[in-house]
Structure 1
Amino acid sequence: MGFKELYLYNFRNYDNLKINLEYPEVFFVGKNGQGKTNILESLYYLCYGSSFRTKNDNIILKHNEKQMAAAAKFSKNDNSLNKIRIQFVNGIKKIELNENNIVDRRDIIFNMPCIIFCHGDLEFVTGSPDKKRLFFDQTISLLDSEYVSLLRKYKNILKNRNKLLKTSKDKNLISIYTEQLIEYGLIITKKEKN
């Protein structure tokens, strides 16, 4: 199981790059600012459909370019060869897995489970509770496909409830949102304990 080849086009500082990763161990060595972290970011990007460094894909796009792509060949436990490609063209992201369009990033995170630990991640240990929560949410999501959907629903209910608290005096609707928060919160808490 693992990446076999990596292709980058206008990704950060790379115009065109092809790397053969079909070795037992791969090391990226170079001076600061040469793009080692950009390669790691591209692998993470292909695993999750987003970067660990930014939420804005325009920042990943090479300066003065309008399109970029990251693609890879990888194998799973069954040794099947798979292809993933993410294109970002004129502000629109398109994800393909084995030439099939992916609408929800959740559908790719179980292909290549990936955890990256970098200097900013020390906040998972020393930082605020929301940083610790993010770490646990990401880790549990790799093990439980339903967890991602539950988190999305919970966060959506919380967002709507908070918006209603600011704009409305309809206490009945607020109590319905509160009941839903409790319901999803209990399910999430049980999954976290397992």
Structure 2
Amino acid sequence: MYIRELHLRDYRSWPELKLDLNPGIVLFVGRNGFGKTNIVEALGYVAHLSSHRVSQDAPLVRHGMASARVSATAVNQGRELTAHLLIKPHAANQAQINRTRCKSPRELLGVVKTVLFSPEDLALVRGEPAERRRYLDDVIATRTPRLAGVKADYDKVLRQRNALLKSASAAMRRGYGDTEGASALATLDVWDSQLAALGAQVINARLELFDHLSDLIPAAYEGLAPESRPAHIAYKSTIDVEDRDVLEAVMLAELGAKRQREIERGISLVGPHRDDLELHLGTAPAKGFASHGETWSYAIALRFAEFQLLRSEDSDPVLILDDVFSELDAQRREKLVKLAAGVEQVFITAAVDEDLPDNLVPMERFEISVADTEEGRVSVLGRTENSAEEASETAFESETESETESVSDAESMIEEKERGEVKKAGETDE
């Protein structure tokens, strides 16, 4: 897979950006804060419906604007599709595939597939379980977009159940002998049933993914750090997952066993929202015991494994290396370059050329700078190709007649769509 065209409007520091791209290595060079990461973040947002940097949509929209738009045309084994996404911080996001409106932005999942390496990946090893759950769920959504809807439905039921536990805790403590308590407990029974049905599907999908990663991650880590302790992973759940055919029944039983504690605490204690992907080095957990180099190697191994799995099931996803070379030693830089060399398309960002490996030769190179305008400071992009062609003009400019008719029509169709209360894809509970 490769991105043939990427078009941003009012996305963070970019009032307007249109890139026509080719397969190969695409390099963006610019000082920190100039907007290079915003470009790859936008592409990742279309792929996963979430940012790797922030949990809310408001920071993605340029200051003073009501919305931001991202359009990406992906070519996958000769088939070309364009994903359009209108990001609205205070309303439901809207999406289209080519000229067809989507009922939900989740329908975009699978049109663009990316695997992103970034400094934020250290949180996969050092961070809380929520970071690792998100890693699993993002890979699942990329492989099987339908399951993203299951996860979203689970999150919705979980919010409703938690709200009931908090608001009706006193009544439920009085039990079935109290009219209000009996009503609240009956409602809790309904939420339990739905939570178990959806939660079993989420856990089962994670376990199926775990089966693949349990070999890929240790192998990737050994390749990066052969001198280190061996890596291995484990899936820790709030329920017994030995028999996957009865996960729903097991979860329902565990909800019953923990009910009193949940009523007392006002929160759901059972379900995939409490699970974790445990990362180990030798006999010790990686979190808290791994050195800085080992932590980086583990984080890269997680992304290596993700990439290899997606590649084995379909064409190459687009590989994004966001400002990671500066954090790596020469050996790990070499490993990443070797991976990038065989990928159909790679996006790389770097602050300065000195951060890049000597053997990295981009097909297309873009220089990022900033300019002061009446609307404030904005990002500016200049293009230099490794060919005899002359460097093209900057991609920051006002919209011209050269913009394709399909993109223009798509904008109009999206912006005319009535605002709904559809839940944004990618939202999860804390």
TM-score, normalisation: structure 1: 0.86
Q: Is the 8 A contact 2:3 2:22 kept in 1?
A: yes
Point out which structure has higher relative CO (alpha carbons under 8 A, 6+ apart).
2
Q: Is the 8 A contact 1:49 1:86 kept in 2?
A: no
Q: Is the 8 A contact 2:5 2:20 kept in 1?
A: yes
Q: Deviations over 1:93-148 (max 9, x none)?
A: 43221011123121111111223232222212221112211111111121123321
**Counterpart for residue 70 of structure 1:** 70
Q: Deviations over 1:44-84 (max 9, x none)?
A: 1222344332344332222233443222222122x122222
Q: Could you tell me how far apart the structure 2 residues matched to 1:84 and 1:147 are?
A: 19
Q: Is the 8 A contact 1:48 1:105 kept in 2?
A: no
**Counterpart for residue 57 of structure 2:** 57
Moved more, 168-177 or 23-32: 168-177
| Structure 1 residue 156: Cα displacement | 1.9
**Counterpart for residue 148 of structure 1:** 148
Please, which of 175, 191, 195 is the counterpart of residue 181 of structure 1? 195
- Report the 3-state secondary structure (helix = DSSP H, G, I; strand = E; otherwise coil) of the residue aligned with 1:187: helix
Structure 1 ranges of 4+ moved more than 4 A: 88-92
**Counterpart for residue 123 of structure 2:** 123
Q: Is the 8 A contact 2:161 2:188 kept in 1?
A: yes
- The answer on 1:83 being equivalent to 2:82 is yes
One-letter amino acid of the counterpart of residue 82, structure 1: L
The structure with more radius of gyration: 2
Aligned residues: 193
**Counterpart for residue 3 of structure 2:** 3
Q: Could you tell me how far apart the structure 1 residues matched to 2:27 and 2:153 are?
A: 40
| Structure 1 residue 89: Cα displacement | 6.8
**Change beyond 3 A, Cα 1:133–1:22:** same
**Counterpart for residue 159 of structure 1:** 159
| Structure 1 residue 14: Cα displacement | 1.7
**Counterpart for residue 132 of structure 1:** 132
One-letter amino acid of the counterpart of residue 38, structure 1: N
- Report the 3-state secondary structure (helix = DSSP H, G, I; strand = E; otherwise coil) of the residue aligned with 2:114: coil
Q: Could you tell me how far apart the structure 2 residues matched to 1:193 and 1:70 are?
A: 33
Q: Could you tell me how far apart the structure 2 residues matched to 1:162 and 1:151 are?
A: 16
**Counterpart for residue 102 of structure 1:** 102
One-letter amino acid of the counterpart of residue 132, structure 1: R
| Structure 1 residue 90: Cα displacement | 8.9
Moved more, 15-24 or 129-138: 15-24
Moved more, 91-100 or 121-130: 91-100
Structure 2: give runs of 5+ residues left out of the alignment: 173-183, 209-430
Matches within 5 A, 1:23-42: 23-42=23-42
Q: Could you tell me how far apart the structure 2 residues matched to 1:33 and 1:191 are?
A: 38
**Change beyond 3 A, Cα 1:89–1:125:** closer
| Structure 1 residue 88: Cα displacement | 4.3
Structure 1: give runs of 5+ residues left out of the alignment: none
**Change beyond 3 A, Cα 1:102–1:54:** farther
- The answer on 1:192 being equivalent to 2:191 is no
TM-score, normalisation: structure 2: 0.42
Q: Is the 8 A contact 2:2 2:75 kept in 1?
A: yes
Q: Could you tell me how far apart the structure 2 residues matched to 1:73 and 1:179 are?
A: 41
Q: Is the 8 A contact 1:150 1:188 kept in 2?
A: yes
Q: Could you tell me how far apart the structure 1 residues matched to 2:57 and 2:163 are?
A: 27
Q: Could you tell me how far apart the structure 2 residues matched to 1:34 and 1:116 are?
A: 20
| Structure 1 residue 180: Cα displacement | 2.8
